[in-house]
Structure 1
Amino acid sequence: MNPQVETAQVIVVGAGPGGSSTAAYLAAHGLDVVLLEKTSFPRDKICGDGLTPRAVKELISLGVPTREEDGWHRTKGLRIIGGGMRLELDWPGNATFPAYGLVRTRMDLDEILARHAVARGARLHELTSVQAPILDRRGHICGVTARVMGPDGRPTGETREYRAPVVVAADGNSSRLSLAMDRPKRDDRPMGVAVRTYYRTPRHDDQYIESWLELWTKGDDGSDVLMPGYGWLFALGDGTCNVGLGILDTAEEFGTFDYRDVMRRWVATMPEEWEISEETQLAPIRGAALPMCFNRQPLYDRGLLLVGDAGGMVNPFNGEGIAEAMEAGRHAAEVIASALARATPGETEAVLQSYTTVMKQSLGGYYMLGKGFATLIGKPEVMRLAVRYGLPRKSLMRLLLKIMANLPQERDGRLDDRVLNALSRMTPAA
């Protein structure tokens, strides 16, 4: 029996923040877009749930309401703890970015964005697991095959085909579609690991997201080793807190220790009055990979564009990926809409090829700066010196917050904005 076939102008695979943003923008541009999601909503993803002002800007651009009465918890800034110091830094609002962040669970956020795409006109198919690309005679992707999944997550035996001249892979770090189109991960880019869980705690309404810069584990010789990463507490405003940690692979010890054990050791040091313990833990500690610095390339080739984790778009400075995925979705939609409006196949292809340039101009130089940063803090002695001598200098830490969250004013900003923008432009994107 032949599979059911559905056609569109664009297929987006994966309904995370990047995929749903892409689909919403494409639909707003008047294009016929199909959004395919292998699970069903609501569904969870491993994440810190914290949205910096850069992500808030993308939500505003997309037209997603973020009222506190609708469950969005607003944050004023970042609290840093380390080296015996406790430092509170407000988000540096400017003409480009708002002076607040948000916290929302991925269980809620992803569904909100997917439903927003549907409201804009996208056709969402849940429980649709994409298996492979369909190629035309040139070797360009022209569609995908998919299994229909049951509510239990198992294949029903039914298969479908979706056909379109342009396909967007927003299917996450493992990105089956990218691999099938010869886009393996690059081993010269940093990678992170994040683990997290939820706790009931009286700290649930904190207005600052919290970052602990000292995470310790045991080395092979039994000595304490300072890890390149941070622990976080992100209050959700609903009686609970997202607690987790992110660690970079630039440390020699990466992959040789139990991340969940590091987290348990860290949580055990927290004050008793916070009530963060095994008794208040609401879910198992779960982990996920954080692909960084465009670790899959090219970002466009043979009809396929990469968005979000599929293209390795996590920020190497702070582990954030939602803002970058949504930004990539916005750029991808603009490029695709412009391409499909061209008169000839050659013109369409030339515009699609520009997606790589657009993304590298937007984030490529910044990512290469972050790659150097990740390499530096992978050395325990550098991390130790940074905590000891950096934290006491509040003006330096304000600048570092702007750098790590990528929050410079785009035009006519202060001196530090102009310097950061210049550094990002001058650093070669690779």
Structure 2
Amino acid sequence: MDDVIIIGAGPAGSMTAKLLAEQGCRVRLLEAGVFPKRKPCGESLNPGAVAALARAGVPVQQLLQTGGTWEGSIVRGWSLGSGKIELQASFPAGRYGVCCRRELLDERLVRTACEAGAVLEERARVDGLLRDEQDRVTGVYGRFTHIGAPFALQARLVVGADGLRSAAARSAGLGAAGKLRKAAFTARVGHAEGLADRVELHVEPQLVIGVAPLGGGLANMTVAMPGRTAAAAARDKAAFMLQAASRSPRLAAKLAHAKIEGEVLASGPFDRPVKAAAVPGLVLVGDAAGYYDPLTGQGIYRAVRSAEMAALRIMEALAGGFRQPLQQYERERQAAFAPGLRLQRLIEWGSRNPYLWHSAIRGLVSSPRLSGKLASWIGDC
């Protein structure tokens, strides 16, 4: 029997697997898809994510090297604003973020988990949780999709790292749909011009547009909007994204000659509260442990930081009693992510109240102290 089964091999699952396997745990990673694979993502790691990876022994300078070629783009801060108003905020001295292709990041991270000793099983779709007579989670069941064979696997503890629509959270009765009904389109755009070493956030009425430079004139563009707007634009998502960019005064010139490269990915709704991130036999990490809004660039940070916190408490739980360490993880997770959640709610509010948002941005522009604090919040540093 495995010590730990982890559902989902994205950044949260892979990092949890790596950290546990390095401590001698028998870890099995179950992934519904096949690597490499794209997924909707802003494709940026803030300084907090870069630091968490370094603490885990995965420095991004090495992680994103391919045959001596660096496959990331360094970012030193954020640009935030609306209309013609712009606030540029730099991360604290010595801190930086990285933008990179998500499929490259995921593949490299899962490789580090396997090198540490975790066992990866792809095309393994988990449908639900196994329980004992005391209602404690004891394993998972599902199906190997490439051969149609069912499986039921047991472990001392299960980690749900399976994203917004977590089967683990749903099966445990922990997940629910939130009140905010927002969706997003994500694509890579070529021929972007004038992008600096910053992630840009453009807040317009009922729209938030994020742009992350990937290098060589390529950028990630993500547009978040009310669900009803996304439904109306679904037939031609690419055209909608470029039209949205053209309506932003600060973005239109930079993307005047831009072309969508590859598929436009849709995602949402994002507001996914959970009742708890740990119950007997189960721990939730990353997006599975709750999510609100995608456009502060903190998703990968939350994934790797929650993995870091969870792995420490899981080791304590496996060595002794489960209750206290998992309760401690819940408290630590809530404290660590509270500032980011407040910021996400503020930006979402700004998209619904553009005139008040303009006033708020003007105030931040006039206060270097507040703008520096904002950069630290966004960067989790």
Interval containing the TM-score (normalised by the shorter chain): 0.7 to 0.9
Any conservation in 2 of the 1:317–1:373 contact (CA below 8 Å)?
A: no
Q: Using a 3 Å threshold, how does the CA distance of structure 1 residues 205 and 385 change in structure 2: closer, same or farther?
A: closer
Find 1:120's aligned residue among 101, 107, 116.
Answer: 116
- Report what 1:198 is aligned to: 188
- Report what 1:76 is aligned to: 76
Distance 1:327 1:192 in 2: 25
Find 1:244's aligned residue among 200, 218, 222.
Answer: 222
Write out aligned runs for 1:316-395 (5 A).
318=296, 320-342=298-320, 347-363=321-337, 365-366=338-339, 369-370=342-343, 373=346, 376-377=349-350, 378-391=352-365, 393-395=367-369
Show structure 2 runs of 5+ residues with no match. Answer: none
Q: Could you tell me how far 1:304 is from its partner in structure 2?
A: 1.0
Deviations 1:214-246 (A, max 9, x none): x2xxxxxxxxxx12x531221112452111223
| Range with bigger deviation, 257-266 or 11-20 | 257-266
Asked if 1:302 corresponds to 2:280, the answer is: yes
Aligned length: 368
2:89 partner SS: strand
2:263 partner SS: coil
Find 1:289's aligned residue among 253, 268, 274.
Answer: 268
- Report what 1:43 is aligned to: 37
Any conservation in 2 of the 1:376–1:382 contact (CA below 8 Å)?
A: no
What is the TM-score normalised by the length of structure 2?
A: 0.86
What is the TM-score normalised by the length of structure 1?
A: 0.77
Distance 1:274 1:21 in 2: 35
Distance 1:203 1:182 in 2: 47
Find 1:167's aligned residue among 158, 162, 170.
Answer: 158
Asked if 1:396 corresponds to 2:370, the answer is: yes
Asked if 1:187 corresponds to 2:178, the answer is: yes
- Report what 1:230 is aligned to: 208
Q: Using a 3 Å threshold, how does the CA distance of structure 1 residues 147 and 340 change in structure 2: closer, same or farther?
A: same
Any conservation in 2 of the 1:83–1:387 contact (CA below 8 Å)?
A: no
Any conservation in 2 of the 1:133–1:142 contact (CA below 8 Å)?
A: yes
Deviations 1:32-54 (A, max 9, x none): 11011000100111011011101
Any conservation in 1 of the 2:296–2:344 contact (CA below 8 Å)?
A: no
Q: Could you tell me how far 1:395 is from its partner in structure 2?
A: 4.3
Q: Using a 3 Å threshold, how does the CA distance of structure 1 residues 171 and 235 change in structure 2: closer, same or farther?
A: same
Identical positions, percent:
26
- Report what 1:413 is aligned to: none
1:241 partner SS: strand
User: Structure 1: which amino acid aligns with 2:214?
Assistant: L
| Range with bigger deviation, 115-124 or 396-405 | 396-405
Q: Could you tell me how far 1:348 is from its partner in structure 2?
A: 2.8
Any conservation in 1 of the 2:306–2:333 contact (CA below 8 Å)?
A: yes
- Report what 2:8 is aligned to: 14
Show structure 1 runs of 5+ residues with no match. Answer: 1-6, 151-155, 216-225, 408-430
Root-mean-square deviation (Å): 2.9
- Report what 1:218 is aligned to: none
1:333 partner SS: helix
Distance 1:58 1:32 in 2: 23
Any conservation in 2 of the 1:140–1:303 contact (CA below 8 Å)?
A: yes
Any conservation in 2 of the 1:339–1:351 contact (CA below 8 Å)?
A: yes
Q: Could you tell me how far 1:209 is from its partner in structure 2?
A: 2.1
Write out aligned runs for 1:31-70 (5 A).
31-67=25-61, 69-70=69-70
| Range with bigger deviation, 11-20 or 257-266 | 257-266
Q: Using a 3 Å threshold, how does the CA distance of structure 1 residues 339 and 236 change in structure 2: closer, same or farther?
A: same
